[in-house]
């Protein structure tokens, strides 16, 4: 086996946050990005753009390009594995969309070639300076078939990159592990090492960093560390504030949507709509999330009702003053209206603080300290919101994240002793 890794781009070699821009809330994110980038001077190190959003040719992409922000286009090919995509006009009309769902049995070399090539052509047309490969999920059912389909896709993508039709650019492999793949990281890693890639973009099929128990967190983190340990830079998808825990462990880059409680759940995205949902959509009423707000002192994206309860209590709210340019000289009253800007600005500032610390050791100390402060503030919030009873927010994920960091530190210490 030859190791053909390419030099990683800047956004993978240092702690980086990339906003994830999707069709779902593209316009709102566009406004938040424009306001933040051009009014308060936040400098983005990169952005992940979903293909369905890019296909609508939004002016934001042009501005990001002119501003020199690296844009990675996510082909969303994992959405083609159930019938649901046929009901989503924006997915169905992507130039490389198949005419029927891809299954473990019907995916043949010809389909692999046209999917790999189609995604690259689309990314090239959008003038991306890095490519993200089209990939399929490593489903547990028929696992080995999905493994060979992914091998084939990455092989076709690598061969096309720099060929007759595609200008050569650094290629980042999309990796979509299910439970089996997470349990066998070396199996996936060894395959990736066969291809000339500059990094891996990891989107588990099912992972919620806030709800995941210790075992699931550990499996996920060890999967990422197995990639990083072989010199493959990793971007972790949709992890929100858990991204700091990853950065403390040397996984540099993560993305998340703005002001969402981030989690990966492909089955949820791909499941058929119920009749009731169909009806709501026809009436133009999506079942969108409530106005969640990221509160940095507790390192948590809070439900709107919880954020309101905090701001209603003068004894509590002074702890949540935001001094970044998103909120300076402004009250709490209109925070929900600018929550995306607040999220972008705050997250970028938090990550640049991690980046300023020069070594993994310093970063680990810093993040641990931040999480301990958040844990303490979380306790104060819980006590103050005691009257909400069972509806009060819990911050148990912070305890789990802190234990995970402590455990990883012990593992490292024991490894270096030998």
The residues binding Zn ion (CB under 5 A) are 322, 324, 326-327, 342
Cα 234 to Cα 16, 119, 244, 383, 397: the distances in Å are 11, 21, 14, 38, 23
- 329 or 418, CB closer to Zn ion? 329
Write out the two tokens for 136: 């399929």
Cα 144 to Cα 147, 332, 415: the distances in Å are 5, 53, 32
CB of residue 63 to Zn ion, shortest distance in Å: 22
Q: Which among 269, 237, 264, 231 has a CA at the least distance from the CA of 250?
A: 231
- 321 or 356, CB closer to Zn ion? 321
Q: How far apart are CA 352 and CA 21, in angstroms?
A: 20
- 132 or 322, CB closer to Zn ion? 322
| Helix, strand and coil in the chain, % to nearest 5 | 55, 10, 35
- Residue 161 burial (C-beta neighbours within 10 Å; 0-12, 13-18, 19+): buried
Say whether 347 sits in a helix, a strand or coil: helix
- 212 or 335, CB closer to Zn ion? 335
- 334 or 396, CB closer to Zn ion? 334
| DSSP labels, 318-334 | GGG---STTTTT--STT
CB of residue 326 to Zn ion, shortest distance in Å: 3
Q: How far apart are CA 84 and CA 399, in angstroms?
A: 37
CB of residue 262 to Zn ion, shortest distance in Å: 18
CB of residue 338 to Zn ion, shortest distance in Å: 7
CB of residue 260 to Zn ion, shortest distance in Å: 16
- 338 or 400, CB closer to Zn ion? 338
CB of residue 34 to Zn ion, shortest distance in Å: 16
Q: How far apart are CA 301 and CA 258, in angstroms?
A: 10
Q: Calculate the dihedral angle through the C-alpha atoms of 291, 295, 296, 297, rounding to the nearest 10 degrees.
A: -170
CB of residue 301 to Zn ion, shortest distance in Å: 13
Cα 268 from chain centroid (whole Å): 16
- 17 or 139, CB closer to Zn ion? 17
């Amino acid at each position: 086996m030859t190791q053909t890794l390419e030099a990683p781009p800047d956004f993978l070699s240092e702690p980086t946050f990339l906003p994830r821009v999707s069709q779902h809330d593209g316009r709102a994110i566009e406004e938040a990005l424009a306001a933040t980038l051009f009014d308060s001077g936040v400098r983005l190190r990169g952005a992940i753009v979903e293909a369905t959003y890019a296909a609508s040719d939004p002016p934001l992409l042009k501005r990001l390009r002119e501003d020199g922000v690296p844009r990675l286009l996510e082909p969303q090919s994992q959405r083609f594995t159930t019938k649901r995509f046929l009901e989503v006009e924006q997915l169905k009309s992507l130039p490389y969309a198949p005419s029927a769902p891809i299954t473990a049995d019907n995916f043949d070399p010809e389909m692999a070639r046209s999917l790999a090539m189609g995604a690259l052509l689309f990314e090239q047309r959008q003038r991306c300076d890095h490519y993200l490969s089209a990939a399929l999920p490593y489903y547990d059912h028929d696992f080995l078939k999905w493994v060979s389909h992914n091998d084939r896709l990455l092989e076709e993508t690598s061969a096309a990159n720099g060929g007759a039709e595609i200008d050569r650019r650094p290629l980042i492999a999309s990796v979509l592990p299910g439970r089996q793949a997470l349990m066998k990281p070396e199996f996936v890693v060894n395959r990736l090492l066969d291809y000339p890639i500059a990094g891996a973009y990891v989107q588990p099929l099912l992972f919620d960093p806030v709800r995941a128990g210790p075992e699931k967190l550990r499996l996920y983190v060890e999967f990422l560390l197995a990639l990083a340990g072989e010199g493959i830079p990793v971007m972790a998808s949709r992890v929100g504030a858990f991204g700091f825990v990853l950065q403390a462990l040397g996984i540099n880059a993560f993305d998340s949507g703005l002001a969402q409680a981030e989690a990966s759940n492909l089955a949820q995205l791909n499941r058929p709509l119920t009749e009731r949902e169909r009806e709501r959509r026809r009436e133009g009423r999506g079942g969108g999330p409530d106005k969640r707000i990221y509160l940095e002192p507790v390192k948590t994206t809070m439900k709107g009702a919880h954020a309101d309860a905090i701001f209603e209590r003068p004894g509590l709210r002074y702890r949540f003053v935001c001094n970044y340019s998103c909120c300076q000289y402004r009250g709490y009253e209109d925070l929900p209206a600018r929550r995306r800007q607040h999220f972008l600005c705050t997250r970028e500032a938090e990550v640049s603080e991690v980046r300023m610390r020069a070594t993994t050791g310093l970063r680990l100390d810093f993040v641990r300290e931040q999480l301990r402060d958040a844990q303490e503030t979380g306790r104060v919030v819980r006590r103050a919101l005691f009257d909400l009873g069972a509806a009060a927010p819990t911050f148990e994920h912070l305890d789990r994240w802190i234990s995970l960091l402590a455990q990883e530190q012990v593992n490292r210490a024991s490894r270096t002793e030998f």
